[in-house]
Amino acid sequence: MALETDFIVIGSGVAGLRASIELATNGARVTVLTKDKASESNTEYAQGGVAVVLSEDDTADLHEGDTLVAGAGLCDEQAVETLVTEGTKYIKQLIDWGTEFDREGGELLMGQEAAHSRRRILHAHGDSTGAEFVRSLIARARIEKTINLTPFANTESLIVRDGRCVGVRFLDPVLRAPREIYAKAVIMCTGGAGQLYLHTTNPSVATGDGMAMAYFAGAEMADMEFVQFHPTALNLENAPRFLLTEAMRGEGGQLKNKYGERFMGRYDERLELAPRDIVSRSIVAEMRRTGTRSVYLDMTAHDEDFLKHRFPKIYEVCNSYGLNIAKDQLPVSPASHYCMGGIRTDLHGRSTLPGLYAAGEVTCTGVHGANRLASNSLLEGLVFGARAGAAAAEDGSKFQVPCSKAEAESPETWKMEPGTTLSTAVKKRVKRVMWERVGILRDKDGLVRALKEFDQIASGNLSTSSRNFVTLAKLVAAGALWREESRGGHYRTDFTQTEDAFKLHSVQRSGKEISSALKISG
């Protein structure tokens, strides 16, 4: 028997929780499906903080300008303006809801990060900002009696009827069997796809299933070729690629090569505070120049008490691997971190598929352009999660929850081998190809070879999750092959210049060739 609710939210990060709260305050019944525990998301792992205009020497115009510069000419200015102006309101609301940001003498502490012209980064518990976001939003969501948080419910596909998204098919965590749930609309907040790469800072749940489900259901995807690689992930053998936050460089951390030389001056006058794409490529160039697999982050100019207080989680993790961040050089190298592309939406979270809304990293609103400005991601999830929830509530007043007995259209995923398990063999193969041929440095030959290998993988008898994974890899590689220039997070060694002809958003849709759009508008 199928279930019914007013709205379905897939994902329980900052965007999903904020959308759910917005829907519930409008009196709606909201079912939140998440494939792990409610707190497990990319939000949980966000260390650096949240960028917001709150200090007297800062303005929305300055924040907007910094975002546009980082976005390398591909930001939608209306989206950026929305982010920076509404962000202040929603952060103040979070504080009212009990979110505990770091303070000194009662005043909020504002940190500095790369490519920001002001100290505008709020942190919580030093380097656990994302975890504090999730804690406070879950606490706020639990106040709303109409929100039903359902963990360990793995969504398989979207249900489409008469060209409208009306529900989802998911694996019921109690029955351990596929089940359907119908609603007025679905809000996709499943985060990004960092797990596509061999080296990533993302948690294991970040496999991009939400993007793939939307794509198979007919929604347009935009800017999939733009992937941000974080410059400084801890690089130790037999250890996960633990993120060493941008804020460490914001506090004066220096990058050095194996000879102990500070090297960023050879690549960019902004040194360690250059945009992430530049720092990542600079590190790759320096590793190649010196024949090494790491460079080193040096924080030893600070005393141990300061670092232990400012970066408690990082201090603890490094210490568990025998590294003291106040005394030792920390081996680092880049790792995949954030997807600028995703489900194409307007500024209210509406996708090109009626009934499907989306917010957060799973989307492409145009707010990040070709390269996300550090610490704008939590703000994006908060602002556009609220906007998507409000739009879905308003639009939903025109619809009834559909009858679950009527026949629905079958997206392509329903014709596949059922199952939500991502094959280990498929995952390993795709991750290696993505890292080697669709990574920080790209060229035509590598991209063509990658697409051929993905086609070969896709020709097998795959589960839904495996098919989702390889499909997303193909979308990134196809976008990268189409974009014959270098811009932001996308760098082609055979097309090293930024070209005005490609000041366009790439748009991909199932069964269609890549097209382009001048602007993603609101």
Contact partners, residue 5, CB within 8 Å, separation at least 6? 29, 30, 31, 148, 181, 182, 183, 401
d(CA 40, CA 31) in angstroms, rounded, equals 17
Are the C-beta atoms of residues 369 and 71 closer than 8 Å to each other?
Answer: yes
The whole-angstrom separation of Cα 14 and Cα 131 is 10
Phi and psi (nearest 5°) for 4? -135, 145
DSSP 462: -
Catalytic residue among 276, 310, 372, 492: 276
CA 289 from chain centre, in angstroms, equals 31
Provide the residue type at 438 as one letter.
V
Q: How many residues does the chain have?
A: 522
- In terms of DSSP bridges, do strands 154-161 and 147-150 run parallel, antiparallel, or are they unpaired? unpaired
Return phi, psi of residue 147, to 5°. -95, 125
* Inter-CA distances, 162 with 33, 153, 179, 406, 407, Å: 24, 26, 21, 11, 10
Which residues fall within 8 angstroms of residue 470, CB to CB, at 6 or more apart? Answer: 426, 430, 454, 457, 458, 462
CB of 32 within 8 A of CB of 12?
yes
CA 215 – CA 429 distance, rounded (Å): 22
Active site (annotated) includes residue 266: no
Other CB atoms within a 10 A radius of the CB of residue 53 amount to 18
Rounded to 10°, the helix 424-437/464-482 angle is 10
Q: Are 69 and 370 in contact (CB under 8 A)?
A: no
Residues tagged active-site: 276
